[in-house]
Amino acid sequence: MFLLRRFFSLSSFILETTTASLSSTNNHLINSKPFSIMSTTPKKPDVNKGTQGEALASKAPKSSDNENRRYEIVQRGQLHTLNYRCYFRDTQTNTIVSPFHDIPLVNEEHNKDQSETIYNMVVEVPRWTNAKMEINKQLKMNPLVQDIKNGKPRFVHNVFPYHGYLWNYGALPQTWEDPNHVDEDTKTTGDNDPLDVCEIGTTLHATGSIIPVKIVGVLGLIDEGETDWKLIGIDIRDKLATQINDIDDVDKHLPGLLEATRRWFKYYKVPTGKPPNKFALNEQYGDRAYAQRVIDETRKYWEKLASGETKVEEKVCSITNTTLKNRGRISKEDAETIVEADEKHEKEAAKLDSSVHQLSYVQDDEERSTKDKKF
């Protein structure tokens, strides 16, 4: 094997990549400088069937994963293409709803018998997958779509030793990180998104699932200069849910996960040529009480957005909905028209290039100096 190391003046990190051979197909650019990536792709992969040795890029949504059965998904277009859309329908009213504005923040069913607040989490990215699915803020009714990078569906780089995300990743509805507000702890403005959640339970949830979670902590990520809180939560039906009630319990029952999570968020954009991300709170996790404060604040920001008190252009953040009593509300028929205007759903996902499964190796100077001291 051949080992390449390259130093960048942009920041104090080393990107290391390993490859079995240096071929033209394995050469890539970071900051216009070539490096090589080790591919983990088997010789004749079938990425849409998840053959051994290769994880699925994304798990197809299944409405049966929506635990409360109230919501079902309505898919349009083809998964892993630019035209894919995943809408939500309220089965009680047979109405299309927004996962950003209409689905409630609090899970009322599970809060009946709980001493703590249980929230609805909209799952965007299943654990160990790397297709960057997300609630689209600009499109009316805010369907889940795959993020776009350089005109193509975006796949997050696999930073060794992980493939994709370490958790089921998603968002809390009816929350919003206000881009006009400077947080007193992060000293930066919000990222114009709903609050993100890393669900750390043992079950793999499909894109489009709506699951009941309790929040036990939060990581204060500063992503490209914007506040991007990462809530740590767990599905209350998980076998570990009764044992994990605050952030310290995570290390006790899932040792290593919090440190791996911090490192993942620090370096996940480095393979694209960007510097490592930074963190608020001295890179420490906030506990359950601190996380609750973050939720309460972003809930208030969302209420101001939805009411029109906070002015944001529709093309930047759509407040189109079917349940709220505000200027963004549209009729059931109009919402259905929005969905029907998209391309019909193709059951088979688009075939993927093997590059979405390649690995990147990242190590910064601080980690290297610590390692060198041991010798």
What token pair was written down for 38?
């080790």
Residue 367: which residues within 8 A CB-CB, separation 6 or more?
A: none
Name the 3-class secondary structure at 104: coil
Q: CB–CB of 346/84 below 8 Å?
A: no
Q: CB–CB of 261/166 below 8 Å?
A: yes
Pairwise CA distance, residues 50 & 58, whole Å? 10
Q: CB–CB of 102/322 below 8 Å?
A: yes
Model's pTM, two decimal places? 0.83
What token pair was written down for 361?
């190796």
Tens-of-pLDDT digits for all 375 residues of the chain? 333 333 333 333 334 433 333 333 333 333 333 333 333 333 333 333 333 334 456 666 665 566 667 999 999 999 999 999 999 999 999 999 999 999 999 998 888 766 789 999 999 999 999 999 999 999 999 999 999 999 999 999 999 999 999 999 999 999 999 999 999 999 999 999 999 999 999 999 999 999 999 999 999 999 999 999 999 999 999 999 999 999 999 999 999 999 999 999 999 999 999 999 999 999 999 999 999 999 999 999 999 999 999 988 888 899 999 999 999 999 999 999 999 999 999 999 999 989 999 999 998 766 665 555 544
Q: CB–CB of 157/272 below 8 Å?
A: yes
Q: CB–CB of 312/42 below 8 Å?
A: no
* Cβ atoms within 10 Å of 363's Cβ, excluding its own: 16
